Amino acid sequence: MSLPARFLRDPSVERLIESALREDLGTGDVTTRRTVPAAARAKARLWSREAGLAAGLPIFARVFRRLDRRVGVKIRMAEGGRFRRGQLLAELQGPARAILSGERVALNLLQRLCGIATLTAAYVAEARRGSRAVKLLDTRKTTPGLRLLEKYAVACGGGVNHRLRLDDAILIKDNHLKVAGSVAEAVRRARGGGLAVEVEVETLAELDQALAAGADTVLLDNFPLERLRAAQARVGAFNRGRKRKVFTEASGGVTLATLRAVAATGVDSISVGALTHSVRALDLSLEFLPQ
């Protein structure tokens, strides 16, 4: 699996870790300072309390090392790997104060990222039951400040990252169209400059406008299955004999229950905001060994 490891190397990730620790620590962990000697050392193990997919273990380790570089973390699970309930994911040893003070931030990040990867893997598997070729895309419906990590977790789960920021690609949505006046006019204005143009359409008539105007991808928003099939047939006919193909993306209210049928319509990709905007954190536990 090819993961966007560059996301983890982005300077904003280090700033995120610093901000999260500052938010949690305030002026310092008073409980740990008063009860644990400065020289005390500890060993701890990270366990899974339910089955899932690994994502973010390097970030988990970086939280502790940010507090004290002497904390050693041995990761026992590859990113994107499946683990069972009760499986050992990592081992830690080093200054006890740093491990105790970093525990909550490290777990909060890791549990959310593993939850996203696990949910994404379930969506990918279901989508492929409808079409082996379809791509499952994420969206910008991410937690503010966590986008890089959440999109990384989607990739760990087998999903494909859509645009990361507003400067990555042109995606003309319904509110843009209300200001621009029409699909055709919006696409005409957006073309050029080397960026692909994607436009959201809500009817077959708007789809025809998008094709005629030269859109690269059409976002079929909240299309029922019958209309999705009709739209895909129109795009297929339009693409016949053309070197530059127009791609299709289905979006809007897609769930695990409807995903297979949507994929079976033949669309090239399906975007699902639920992968990041309403995911459940996975249950993980950091247990200290008796000293």
Within 13 Å, how many C-alpha atoms sit on residue 220's CB side? 32
Residue 280 pLDDT greater than 90, yes or no: yes
Residue 40 pLDDT greater than 70, yes or no: yes
Sole residue written with tokens 């020289």: 39
> Residue 2's pLDDT is what?
60
Give the C-alpha separation, 209 to 187, whole Å: 9
User: What rounded mean pLDDT belongs to the chain?
Assistant: 96
Select which of 43, 104, 163, 188 is catalytic.
104
Q: Classify the C-alpha dihedral 131-135-141-147 as positive or negative.
A: positive
Give the C-alpha separation, 52 to 120, whole Å: 11
**Any catalytic annotation for residue 178?**
no
Residue 1 pLDDT greater than 70, yes or no: no
**Any catalytic annotation for residue 173?**
yes
pLDDT per position as a tens digit, 61-102: 999 999 999 999 999 999 999 999 999 999 999 999 999 999
pTM for the whole thing? 0.95
Delimit the domains of the chain by residue range: 6-123+279-288, 124-277
| Structure tokens that stand for 202 in this block | 């809500």
CATH class, domain 6-123+279-288, is alpha beta
Select which of 141, 188, 227, 234 is catalytic.
141
Select which of 200, 206, 249, 268 is catalytic.
200
Longest dimension (CA), the chain: 74
Band of residue 5 on the pLDDT scale cut at 50, 70, 90: confident
Q: What angle do CA 171, 160, 210 make, to 5 degrees?
A: 30
pLDDT per position as a tens digit, 213-261: 999 999 999 999 999 999 999 999 999 999 999 999 999 989 999 999 9
Lowest mean pLDDT among 3-7, 146-150, 230-234, 241-245: 3-7
Band of residue 123 on the pLDDT scale cut at 50, 70, 90: very high
> Residue 3's pLDDT is what?
76
Q: Give percent of the chain with pLDDT exceeding 90.
A: 96
Select which of 173, 174, 178, 280 is catalytic.
173
Within 13 Å, how many C-alpha atoms sit on residue 191's CB side? 14
> Residue 132's pLDDT is what?
96
pLDDT per position as a tens digit, 16-31: 999 999 999 999 999 9
| Structure tokens that stand for 96 in this block | 């006890």
| Structure tokens that stand for 76 in this block | 């026992």
N- to C-terminal Cα separation, the chain? 40
**Any catalytic annotation for residue 245?**
no
**Any catalytic annotation for residue 147?**
no
> Residue 192's pLDDT is what?
84
**Any catalytic annotation for residue 243?**
no
Q: Domain 124-277 belongs to what architecture?
A: Alpha-Beta Barrel (3.20)
- Residue that wins the pLDDT comparison between 86 and 290: 86
